[in-house]
Structure 1
Amino acid sequence: MIYIAQGEDAVGSNEDMVISTILGSCISVCLWDPVKRVGGMNHLLLPEMRQAGPGLDTAGAIAMERLINRLVKLGAERSRLRAKLFGGSSMLSGLTDIGARNANFGRNYLMAENIPCDGESVGGTLARKLRFWPASGAAKQKFVEEAPALTEPIRFDQNDVELF
Protein backbone atom coordinates (compact mmCIF):
# COMPACT_ATOMS: atom_id res chain seq x y z
CA MET A 1 0.00 0.00 0.00
CA ILE A 2 1.26 3.44 -0.93
CA TYR A 3 -0.06 6.43 1.04
CA ILE A 4 -0.12 9.83 -0.65
CA ALA A 5 -0.49 13.20 1.09
CA GLN A 6 -1.43 16.67 -0.22
CA GLY A 7 0.43 17.52 -3.41
CA GLU A 8 1.52 13.93 -4.06
CA ASP A 9 0.54 11.30 -6.59
CA ALA A 10 1.32 7.65 -7.27
CA VAL A 11 0.99 5.43 -10.33
CA GLY A 12 1.38 1.75 -11.03
CA SER A 13 0.22 -1.42 -12.72
CA ASN A 14 0.96 -4.14 -10.17
CA GLU A 15 -2.14 -6.20 -9.35
CA ASP A 16 -1.31 -6.05 -5.63
CA MET A 17 -0.70 -2.29 -5.50
CA VAL A 18 -3.14 -0.10 -3.54
CA ILE A 19 -2.87 3.70 -3.36
CA SER A 20 -4.54 5.31 -0.35
CA THR A 21 -5.18 8.73 1.11
CA ILE A 22 -7.48 10.60 3.47
CA LEU A 23 -9.48 13.49 2.05
CA GLY A 24 -11.30 16.36 3.68
CA SER A 25 -11.80 19.42 1.47
CA CYS A 26 -9.06 18.13 -0.85
CA ILE A 27 -9.87 16.07 -3.93
CA SER A 28 -8.32 13.00 -5.47
CA VAL A 29 -8.64 12.14 -9.13
CA CYS A 30 -8.12 8.47 -9.91
CA LEU A 31 -7.16 7.82 -13.53
CA TRP A 32 -7.06 4.41 -15.21
CA ASP A 33 -6.29 3.02 -18.66
CA PRO A 34 -8.44 -0.15 -18.90
CA VAL A 35 -6.52 -1.54 -21.89
CA LYS A 36 -3.01 -1.17 -20.49
CA ARG A 37 -4.28 -1.76 -16.91
CA VAL A 38 -2.29 1.10 -15.38
CA GLY A 39 -3.62 3.80 -13.13
CA GLY A 40 -2.79 6.49 -10.65
CA MET A 41 -4.19 8.86 -8.06
CA ASN A 42 -3.35 12.37 -6.88
CA HIS A 43 -4.27 14.47 -3.84
CA LEU A 44 -5.06 18.13 -4.59
CA LEU A 45 -5.75 21.14 -2.39
CA LEU A 46 -6.34 24.65 -3.75
CA PRO A 47 -6.07 23.64 -7.42
CA GLU A 48 -6.65 27.16 -8.69
CA MET A 49 -3.70 28.59 -6.74
CA ARG A 50 -1.14 30.09 -9.10
CA GLN A 51 2.41 28.80 -9.14
CA ALA A 52 5.31 31.24 -9.08
CA GLY A 53 6.83 32.20 -12.42
CA PRO A 54 5.56 33.33 -15.78
CA GLY A 55 3.54 31.13 -18.10
CA LEU A 56 2.54 28.55 -15.51
CA ASP A 57 -1.07 27.47 -15.20
CA THR A 58 -2.83 26.58 -11.97
CA ALA A 59 -1.41 24.17 -9.43
CA GLY A 60 -4.25 21.70 -10.07
CA ALA A 61 -3.73 21.63 -13.83
CA ILE A 62 0.00 21.10 -13.32
CA ALA A 63 -0.68 18.24 -10.89
CA MET A 64 -3.14 16.64 -13.32
CA GLU A 65 -0.70 16.87 -16.21
CA ARG A 66 2.04 15.37 -14.04
CA LEU A 67 -0.22 12.41 -13.18
CA ILE A 68 -1.21 11.91 -16.83
CA ASN A 69 2.41 12.12 -18.00
CA ARG A 70 3.47 9.52 -15.43
CA LEU A 71 0.71 7.19 -16.69
CA VAL A 72 1.74 7.72 -20.33
CA LYS A 73 5.30 6.72 -19.39
CA LEU A 74 3.83 3.42 -18.12
CA GLY A 75 2.11 2.84 -21.46
CA ALA A 76 -1.30 4.46 -20.92
CA GLU A 77 -2.91 6.35 -23.77
CA ARG A 78 -4.48 9.66 -22.89
CA SER A 79 -7.48 8.93 -25.15
CA ARG A 80 -8.33 5.78 -23.13
CA LEU A 81 -8.13 7.29 -19.64
CA ARG A 82 -11.15 6.95 -17.36
CA ALA A 83 -11.59 8.89 -14.11
CA LYS A 84 -13.16 8.73 -10.67
CA LEU A 85 -13.37 11.84 -8.45
CA PHE A 86 -13.48 11.92 -4.65
CA GLY A 87 -13.37 14.46 -1.79
CA GLY A 88 -14.36 18.10 -1.68
CA SER A 89 -16.08 17.99 1.70
CA SER A 90 -17.09 21.16 3.53
CA MET A 91 -14.94 20.70 6.62
CA LEU A 92 -15.12 24.22 8.12
CA SER A 93 -18.67 25.52 8.43
CA GLY A 94 -19.17 29.23 8.00
CA LEU A 95 -16.02 29.70 5.93
CA THR A 96 -15.56 29.74 2.17
CA ASP A 97 -16.36 26.32 0.74
CA ILE A 98 -12.98 25.27 -0.63
CA GLY A 99 -14.26 21.70 -0.92
CA ALA A 100 -16.88 22.69 -3.51
CA ARG A 101 -14.29 24.76 -5.40
CA ASN A 102 -11.93 21.77 -5.44
CA ALA A 103 -14.65 19.42 -6.69
CA ASN A 104 -15.64 21.88 -9.41
CA PHE A 105 -12.03 22.09 -10.54
CA GLY A 106 -11.88 18.29 -10.86
CA ARG A 107 -15.11 18.11 -12.87
CA ASN A 108 -14.15 21.02 -15.12
CA TYR A 109 -10.66 19.68 -15.78
CA LEU A 110 -11.94 16.23 -16.75
CA MET A 111 -14.60 17.74 -19.00
CA ALA A 112 -12.13 20.12 -20.69
CA GLU A 113 -9.69 17.26 -21.32
CA ASN A 114 -12.42 14.87 -22.55
CA ILE A 115 -11.66 12.32 -19.83
CA PRO A 116 -14.87 10.43 -18.95
CA CYS A 117 -15.69 10.36 -15.24
CA ASP A 118 -17.15 6.95 -14.37
CA GLY A 119 -18.11 8.00 -10.84
CA GLU A 120 -17.73 10.59 -8.17
CA SER A 121 -18.28 11.00 -4.47
CA VAL A 122 -17.83 14.65 -3.56
CA GLY A 123 -19.22 17.11 -1.06
CA GLY A 124 -20.82 16.52 2.30
CA THR A 125 -19.22 17.29 5.65
CA LEU A 126 -17.27 14.13 6.41
CA ALA A 127 -13.73 13.18 5.52
CA ARG A 128 -13.09 10.08 3.40
CA LYS A 129 -10.55 7.29 3.52
CA LEU A 130 -9.88 6.32 -0.08
CA ARG A 131 -8.22 3.27 -1.62
CA PHE A 132 -7.53 2.83 -5.34
CA TRP A 133 -6.29 -0.26 -7.16
CA PRO A 134 -4.50 1.14 -10.25
CA ALA A 135 -4.36 -2.15 -12.20
CA SER A 136 -8.12 -2.72 -12.07
CA GLY A 137 -9.42 0.85 -11.67
CA ALA A 138 -11.40 -0.18 -8.57
CA ALA A 139 -11.87 2.35 -5.79
CA LYS A 140 -13.34 2.10 -2.30
CA GLN A 141 -14.07 4.84 0.16
CA LYS A 142 -15.10 4.94 3.78
CA PHE A 143 -16.52 8.02 5.42
CA VAL A 144 -14.69 9.08 8.56
CA GLU A 145 -16.98 10.05 11.41
CA GLU A 146 -16.25 13.05 13.55
CA ALA A 147 -13.18 12.87 15.76
CA PRO A 148 -13.88 12.10 19.41
CA ALA A 149 -14.20 15.08 21.74
CA LEU A 150 -11.01 16.08 23.46
CA THR A 151 -10.92 15.89 27.23
CA GLU A 152 -9.19 18.40 29.43
CA PRO A 153 -5.81 17.25 30.76
CA ILE A 154 -5.45 16.67 34.49
CA ARG A 155 -4.05 19.78 36.11
CA PHE A 156 -2.13 19.76 39.37
CA ASP A 157 -2.05 22.73 41.72
CA GLN A 158 1.61 22.23 42.57
CA ASN A 159 4.56 20.18 41.55
CA ASP A 160 8.04 19.50 42.83
CA VAL A 161 9.81 20.87 39.79
CA GLU A 162 11.26 24.35 39.91
CA LEU A 163 12.53 25.90 36.71
CA PHE A 164 15.06 28.68 36.91
Structure 2
Amino acid sequence: MAGLDFAKEGQLLETLLGSCVGIVLWDRARKHGALAHIMLSDSAGRSGSVGKYADTAIPAMIQQLRSWGSLPSDLVSKIAGGATMFGSRTANDVGEKNIQAVRAHLKRFGVRIVAEHIGGTQGRVIRFNPADGSVQVTIARNVVAVL
Protein backbone atom coordinates (compact mmCIF):
# COMPACT_ATOMS: atom_id res chain seq x y z
CA MET A 1 0.00 0.00 0.00
CA ALA A 2 2.67 2.55 0.94
CA GLY A 3 4.44 4.25 -1.90
CA LEU A 4 4.93 7.19 -4.24
CA ASP A 5 3.46 8.02 -7.59
CA PHE A 6 3.82 10.96 -9.96
CA ALA A 7 1.44 12.33 -12.56
CA LYS A 8 1.10 15.00 -15.19
CA GLU A 9 -2.03 16.67 -16.53
CA GLY A 10 -4.42 14.04 -17.90
CA GLN A 11 -3.57 11.42 -15.27
CA LEU A 12 -5.21 10.71 -11.90
CA LEU A 13 -3.65 9.27 -8.75
CA GLU A 14 -5.60 7.48 -6.02
CA THR A 15 -4.94 5.72 -2.72
CA LEU A 16 -6.85 4.25 0.23
CA LEU A 17 -5.93 5.56 3.70
CA GLY A 18 -6.63 4.61 7.31
CA SER A 19 -4.06 5.78 9.87
CA CYS A 20 -1.75 6.41 6.93
CA VAL A 21 -1.42 9.93 5.54
CA GLY A 22 -1.72 10.83 1.89
CA ILE A 23 0.45 13.74 0.76
CA VAL A 24 -0.20 15.54 -2.50
CA LEU A 25 2.41 17.94 -3.87
CA TRP A 26 1.21 20.04 -6.80
CA ASP A 27 2.79 22.56 -9.15
CA ARG A 28 -0.05 24.75 -10.44
CA ALA A 29 1.94 26.29 -13.31
CA ARG A 30 3.30 23.01 -14.67
CA LYS A 31 0.18 20.96 -13.83
CA HIS A 32 2.03 18.00 -12.43
CA GLY A 33 2.40 16.54 -8.98
CA ALA A 34 2.95 13.61 -6.69
CA LEU A 35 1.02 11.45 -4.25
CA ALA A 36 2.65 9.63 -1.35
CA HIS A 37 0.98 7.07 0.90
CA ILE A 38 2.82 7.38 4.24
CA MET A 39 2.47 4.43 6.62
CA LEU A 40 4.93 5.54 9.29
CA SER A 41 6.51 8.78 10.42
CA ASP A 42 10.16 7.72 10.52
CA SER A 43 12.38 5.29 8.59
CA ALA A 44 15.05 4.94 11.32
CA GLY A 45 16.01 1.29 11.69
CA ARG A 46 13.43 0.14 9.17
CA SER A 47 13.54 -1.11 5.61
CA GLY A 48 11.04 -0.64 2.84
CA SER A 49 10.02 1.72 0.09
CA VAL A 50 10.98 5.39 0.46
CA GLY A 51 7.29 6.15 0.02
CA LYS A 52 6.45 4.35 3.25
CA TYR A 53 7.96 6.97 5.58
CA ALA A 54 7.41 10.72 5.92
CA ASP A 55 11.13 11.45 6.33
CA THR A 56 12.05 9.74 3.05
CA ALA A 57 8.94 10.21 0.90
CA ILE A 58 8.81 14.00 0.97
CA PRO A 59 12.44 14.51 -0.16
CA ALA A 60 11.94 11.87 -2.89
CA MET A 61 8.77 13.62 -4.11
CA ILE A 62 10.53 16.98 -4.24
CA GLN A 63 13.55 15.50 -6.02
CA GLN A 64 11.40 13.97 -8.78
CA LEU A 65 9.33 17.12 -9.21
CA ARG A 66 12.57 19.15 -9.44
CA SER A 67 13.60 16.91 -12.33
CA TRP A 68 10.35 18.01 -14.02
CA GLY A 69 11.23 21.68 -13.48
CA SER A 70 9.57 22.48 -10.14
CA LEU A 71 11.22 24.22 -7.22
CA PRO A 72 9.94 23.60 -3.67
CA SER A 73 8.63 27.18 -3.72
CA ASP A 74 6.46 26.26 -6.75
CA LEU A 75 4.72 23.50 -4.81
CA VAL A 76 1.71 23.41 -2.53
CA SER A 77 0.53 20.46 -0.50
CA LYS A 78 -2.75 18.88 0.48
CA ILE A 79 -2.85 16.15 3.11
CA ALA A 80 -5.49 13.64 4.16
CA GLY A 81 -5.77 10.62 6.44
CA GLY A 82 -4.26 9.96 9.83
CA ALA A 83 -7.42 8.42 11.25
CA THR A 84 -7.58 6.69 14.61
CA MET A 85 -8.69 3.33 13.33
CA PHE A 86 -8.60 1.23 16.50
CA GLY A 87 -9.57 2.73 19.84
CA SER A 88 -8.96 6.22 21.13
CA ARG A 89 -6.23 8.71 20.23
CA THR A 90 -3.18 8.42 22.51
CA ALA A 91 0.39 9.71 22.56
CA ASN A 92 1.37 6.57 20.62
CA ASP A 93 -1.33 7.01 17.98
CA VAL A 94 0.13 6.12 14.57
CA GLY A 95 -2.19 8.47 12.67
CA GLU A 96 -1.32 11.47 14.83
CA LYS A 97 2.43 10.72 14.60
CA ASN A 98 2.12 10.50 10.82
CA ILE A 99 0.27 13.84 10.64
CA GLN A 100 2.85 15.62 12.80
CA ALA A 101 5.79 14.15 10.86
CA VAL A 102 4.29 15.13 7.51
CA ARG A 103 3.67 18.68 8.69
CA ALA A 104 7.22 19.00 10.05
CA HIS A 105 8.91 17.69 6.89
CA LEU A 106 6.80 19.84 4.57
CA LYS A 107 7.65 22.89 6.68
CA ARG A 108 11.35 21.98 6.58
CA PHE A 109 11.26 22.05 2.77
CA GLY A 110 9.17 25.23 2.64
CA VAL A 111 6.10 23.57 1.11
CA ARG A 112 2.82 25.14 2.28
CA ILE A 113 -0.13 22.97 3.26
CA VAL A 114 -3.14 24.62 1.61
CA ALA A 115 -5.81 22.06 2.54
CA GLU A 116 -6.21 19.07 4.80
CA HIS A 117 -8.78 16.43 5.70
CA ILE A 118 -7.22 14.62 8.66
CA GLY A 119 -8.03 12.68 11.82
CA GLY A 120 -11.37 11.14 12.59
CA THR A 121 -12.06 7.45 12.97
CA GLN A 122 -12.77 6.30 9.42
CA GLY A 123 -10.70 5.47 6.40
CA ARG A 124 -10.66 7.54 3.22
CA VAL A 125 -9.97 7.21 -0.46
CA ILE A 126 -8.25 10.20 -2.05
CA ARG A 127 -8.05 10.98 -5.76
CA PHE A 128 -5.65 13.67 -7.05
CA ASN A 129 -6.08 15.42 -10.39
CA PRO A 130 -2.93 17.35 -11.40
CA ALA A 131 -4.81 19.29 -14.10
CA ASP A 132 -6.52 21.45 -11.46
CA GLY A 133 -4.89 20.32 -8.21
CA SER A 134 -8.14 18.97 -6.80
CA VAL A 135 -8.09 16.19 -4.25
CA GLN A 136 -11.37 14.35 -3.87
CA VAL A 137 -11.77 12.69 -0.48
CA THR A 138 -14.32 9.91 -0.03
CA ILE A 139 -14.72 8.76 3.56
CA ALA A 140 -16.54 5.66 4.77
CA ARG A 141 -20.24 5.73 3.98
CA ASN A 142 -19.42 7.55 0.72
CA VAL A 143 -19.26 11.10 2.07
CA VAL A 144 -17.26 13.15 -0.43
CA ALA A 145 -15.23 16.32 0.17
CA VAL A 146 -13.17 18.14 -2.46
CA LEU A 147 -10.07 20.01 -1.26
User: Hey, what's the Cα distance between the residues in 1 that align with 2:114 and 2:105?
Assistant: 14
Deviation at 1:49, TM superposition (A): 3.4
For residue 5 of structure 2, what is the aligned residue in structure 1? 10
Higher helix share: 2
> Which contiguous aligned blocks of 4+ residues in structure 1 show a shift greater than 2 angstroms?
none
**Structure with larger Rg:** 1
Identity %: 27
Q: Does 1:86 align with 2:77?
A: no
Aligned residues: 135
Structure 1 gaps, min length 5: 146-164
1:140 is displaced (CA, Å) by 0.4
CA RMSD of superposed structures (Å): 1.9
Once the two structures are superposed, residues 58-114 of structure 1 have per-residue CA deviations (whole angstroms, 9 ceiling, x without a partner) of 942211111111111122222111000110000011573110111111111122221
Please give the secondary structure, in 2, of the residue aligned with 1:43: strand
Q: Is the CA contact 1:50–1:59 (under 8 Å) kept in the aligned structure 2?
A: no
Equivalent-residue separation in structure 2 for 1:10 and 1:136 (angstroms)? 17
Aligned residue type for 2:7 = G
